[in-house]
Structure 1
Amino acid sequence: MPKYCGVNHLAMVTGDMDSTIRFWRDLLGLRLVAGLGHPGYRHYFFEISPTDLLAFFEWPEAKPLPMRDHGYPVAGPIGFDHVSIGVETETDLWEVKDLLAAAGYDPSEVIHHGFIKSVYAFDPNGIPIEFSFSVPGADPRHTPAMADSAPSRICLEGPDPQPGHWPKPTPTPPSQRRDYPGEGKDVLEEDRNKWK
């Protein structure tokens, strides 16, 4: 199995990159580390941690999401509920809550979920966001637990990947491995950097 090292980036959508920058960079303190674009298209990346990024596409016709409670079931097409960003300490969680409140973003109270404590809010795009502090000694990654009162048969197979359910892949030989240029190459071109 491949080894994963975090969420490289989660790509969201905004119709207003400037308000998105003001919220994520200037209010919450996430560094804006890369920006790609041309008229009608932008793709900007904010640093959450040394291994995780939050990205936004700016699509001029995009509108903010309608507000709905985090985790509230909806019908119809949907592929996303909310994003939770970890904070290092409980003090950091309270600091985020205070920042959001001072800026008029109406954060929730601190909710204690047993293994995490969380604050909920919405960004300027209506994206449901959560900030979570992992409770020391209660990380389910160390001791997985299933407390669903009616788990499925497949779920009951356990927390670890179960082999034999998918076809075995044929590895691509090194001689056939190639990649193709994408938009991000512009970030590496010194003469394109507007901050220098």
Structure 2
Amino acid sequence: MSLLVGVNHVAVLTGNLDRFIDFYHGVFDLDVVFSETTPAFRHAILRTGPHSWLHPAEVVGNPHSAALPAMFDRGHLDHLALTAESPEAFETLRARLVACGASDGTVEDLGAFHAVWFTDPDGMRVELIVIVDAELRDVHEPRPLADSAA
């Protein structure tokens, strides 16, 4: 039994806090629960679940606010994965990501998960996941899902 109940928050540097908030609120309906401007930086907290948040921070002139595109060459934190509440929510979010040009909508079958990748306004590659087997049986390398035409 784990002594943890999940990930509390992920802090992400952004080049434009308002753009970040607009994207994640607009696509995922995330509520902004905190926002502050200090002399050194601006930051906010967006609720992703009952006990989890995204914590974007805008630091003027910070060279790390734009993401690198190549997987496993992005630095200490390679990517973020968000979990959809249900298969229906996954399809709604996938359609929104395609509509705003953040994803081509291709769904990968990972066995216990299905995933669609998108690029946020700062160029960060992010994965949207829906769990299809909570027991995590048959986790495997990504394969195209046959019926995922966008």
TM-score for the superposition, normalised by structure 2: 0.81
3-state SS in 2 of match to 1:105:
coil
1:98 maps onto 2:95 in alignment: yes
Say which one has the larger Rg.
1
1:41 maps onto 2:38 in alignment: no
**Paired residue for 2:121?**
124
Q: 1:57 & 1:119 partners in 2: Cα distance?
A: 25
Q: Shift of the alpha carbon at 1:2?
A: 7.4
Q: Shift of the alpha carbon at 1:108?
A: 4.0
1:117 counterpart letter in structure 2: H
**Paired residue for 1:31?**
31
Q: Shift of the alpha carbon at 1:39?
A: 3.3
Q: 2:55 & 2:117 partners in 1: Cα distance?
A: 20
Q: 1:42 & 1:95 partners in 2: Cα distance?
A: 30
Change (3 A) 1:26 1:73: closer
**Paired residue for 1:65?**
67
Change (3 A) 1:2 1:27: closer
Larger strand fraction of residues = 2
Q: Shift of the alpha carbon at 1:139?
A: 2.7
Is 2:30–2:47's contact at 8 Å kept on the other side of the alignment? yes
**Paired residue for 1:5?**
5
Kindly tell me the number of residue pairs found equivalent between the two proteins.
139
TM-score for the superposition, normalised by structure 1: 0.63
Q: Shift of the alpha carbon at 1:107?
A: 3.7
1:111 counterpart letter in structure 2: E
Is 2:108–2:114's contact at 8 Å kept on the other side of the alignment? yes
Q: Shift of the alpha carbon at 1:11?
A: 0.5
Is 2:103–2:118's contact at 8 Å kept on the other side of the alignment? yes
Task: Provide the identity percentage.
Answer: 25
Q: 1:101 & 1:133 partners in 2: Cα distance?
A: 17
CA root-mean-square deviation: 2.4
2:129 counterpart letter in structure 1: S
Q: 2:43 & 2:30 partners in 1: Cα distance?
A: 16
3-state SS in 2 of match to 1:65:
coil
User: Unaligned regions of 5+ residues in structure 2, if any?
Assistant: 141-150
Q: Shift of the alpha carbon at 1:30?
A: 0.7
How big is each residue's C-alpha offset from its partner over 1:101-137, in whole Å with a ceiling of 9 and x where there is no partner?
A: 111112440111001001101111111101101113x
Q: Which has the higher contact order (CA 8 A, sep 6+)?
A: 2
Q: Shift of the alpha carbon at 1:73?
A: 3.7
2:82 counterpart letter in structure 1: I
User: Unaligned regions of 5+ residues in structure 1, if any?
Assistant: 148-196
Q: 1:54 & 1:132 partners in 2: Cα distance?
A: 16
